[in-house]
Structure 1
Amino acid sequence: MISFVRWLLVLLFIVLSFPFLCVYMLINPIKNRNLHVACRSYSVINKIFSVRVAVNGFDTISTAKPYIYVANHQCNYDVLIVAEALKPGTVIVGKKSLRWLPLVGQLYWLTGSLFIDRNSPRASIQSLRKISKSVVADNTSIWIFPEGTRNKGGDMLPFKAGAFRIAKEMGVGIVPVTISPAVGDIAYNSLRPTEVSIVAHQPIEADEVARMSAKELASYTREIINNMIPVI
């Protein structure tokens, strides 16, 4: 019953807020800020589900230059944890199939977020290269889940190298991010709060990125993220 009421409240909130959010994002001239606005709005859903998100390390990340944020990906709820931490001027890279989901696809488009074809490595790299041309010019950071799919609470999957190749080509740094596995234990049908954390680690700056191969970067970044699991 508790779960039903919560999901009903979430549905009502989304349906009522979506038109107003769309209008705002359509007229907002600073398009790479739209995702931050959407995240601030929909982070209310965490309160409905009694999810308390501890955000650490993001306040030390400079907004004066773009970064590629890379994080572990366990379940669909990860996006709402990211919503508590995402900095202005950041967009998310998601799989192409999300484009056709009701509301989700429209939100991705309105927030300036980006799609890549996970099923085709060549198409994925081409998409990321196209993205990179505007990212540095607009001082836009991008957020990627480099596992490519959810690990469903198990061991982290190998990181795909595409994001790291683009970081080298763009000449930007990488911010490793760890999302705690507690996100998979949310008690939807209980009033008991769930404590979850999201941690931004010290950036791998552009000069260090340039010294490593994409494969080495992927392995190094994955190790940093994995070493913080489990976190509260």
Structure 2
Amino acid sequence: MKKILDYILSSVYLVYFGLLLVVFHVIQVIAFTIFGEKAQQKVVFSLNFMITYGWYLTGTTINFRQMFALPTNRPIIFISNHQSTFDIPAIYWFLRKYHPIFVSKKELANGVPSISYNLRKSHAALIDRKDGKQAVGEILKLSKYIQDNNCSAVIFPEGTRSRSGIMKPFVAGGIAALIKKAPDALIVPIAIQGNNLFDPNKGLFPLVSFSTLSWTVLEGIEPKGKNADEIAQLAQAAIQKILG
């Protein structure tokens, strides 16, 4: 019976999700063309609000906790474990105050309504995971951007999603590139739980109804005097403590 309910509620949510992507793609294009980047980003925040709270259609519970106050007068580098495609909308919405910009694989920059357009317009680092030089170059551009504009970057140092929920070792290369041109940035870990259980399949169907999803923003790590490997280890240990 539960499996049948998963299929029914997943169908409802995915129709809703698909419509959001199409409708907000059009709104983004209009906003950017007429009013510029800031207006387009407000549309993106609204889209991610709708995606995140749309999970209630599946009976899912959403928990967001920010354990410590974060500064608004310096850039931030958010470092998170990665479990699902659905990790991202809640980060966009709940941390919108810090204007998060993502490190993303370049394949997502084309072909997905709303998401691809936003990646191309938001200064995201669109990396080729097979080309280390290109990837570092993209991340360095993002690093300089957050330093100059006092906003934030988001990176998933595992490199790919862990559907088992068990973290893979954090790779320090992307972190090193981010801190290189953003020396004022505070490093802030985010622990994500339950998303792999909500979306256990390689596709998005069926989702597991009545799941519990959580994002926990942890205490910042000052990078001064630490290299990228040390930062990666500290961030992973802090996240692992929450994951248990």
Residue pairs, 1:61-72, within 5 angstroms: 61-72=70-81
Deviation at 1:107, TM superposition (A): 2.5
Amino acid at match of 1:69: F
What value does the CA root-mean-square deviation take over the aligned residues? Answer: 2.6
**Structure 1 counterpart of 2:28:** 21
Q: 1:94 to 1:32 in 2, by over 3 A?
A: farther
CA displacement 1:163-194 (0-9 Å, x = unmatched)? 321344221111000001x2122287699532
Amino acid at match of 2:214: S
Amino acid at match of 1:14: L
Unaligned runs of 5+ in 2: 1-7, 200-204
Deviation at 1:135, TM superposition (A): 1.8
Given candidates 35, 38, 43, the residue that maps to 1:30 is 38
Deviation at 1:93, TM superposition (A): 1.3
Deviation at 1:229, TM superposition (A): 0.3
Distance 2:243 2:167 in 1: 10
Local SS of the residue matching 1:92: strand
Local SS of the residue matching 2:96: coil
Asked if structure 2 preserves the Cα contact closer than 8 Å seen for 1:32 and 1:91, the reply is no
Amino acid at match of 1:39: N
**Structure 2 counterpart of 1:73:** 82
Moved more, 68-77 or 120-129: 120-129
Distance 2:147 2:41 in 1: 15
Q: 1:25 to 1:107 in 2, by over 3 A?
A: same
Distance 2:109 2:37 in 1: 23
CA displacement 1:125-172 (0-9 Å, x = unmatched)? 222112222221111211111111111124211112123213442211
Residue pairs, 1:82-161, within 5 angstroms: 82-88=91-97, 89-103=99-113, 104-161=115-172
Identity of aligned residues (%): 21
Moved more, 170-179 or 8-17: 8-17
Distance 2:89 2:242 in 1: 20
CA displacement 1:197-230 (0-9 Å, x = unmatched)? 100101112xxx1211211111111111111104
Return the TM-score normalized by structure 1: 0.84
**Structure 2 counterpart of 1:213:** 227
Amino acid at match of 1:222: Q
Distance 2:32 2:67 in 1: 24
Distance 1:107 1:61 in 2: 25
Distance 2:83 2:40 in 1: 26
Asked if structure 2 preserves the Cα contact closer than 8 Å seen for 1:177 and 1:199, the reply is yes
Amino acid at match of 2:108: L
Tell me how many residue pairs correspond in the alignment.
Answer: 226
Asked if structure 1 preserves the Cα contact closer than 8 Å seen for 2:79 and 2:155, the reply is yes
Unaligned runs of 5+ in 1: none
Distance 1:73 1:133 in 2: 24
Distance 1:210 1:83 in 2: 27
Local SS of the residue matching 2:214: strand
Distance 2:217 2:68 in 1: 9
Q: 1:190 to 1:109 in 2, by over 3 A?
A: closer
Deviation at 1:37, TM superposition (A): 4.1
Deviation at 1:11, TM superposition (A): 2.0
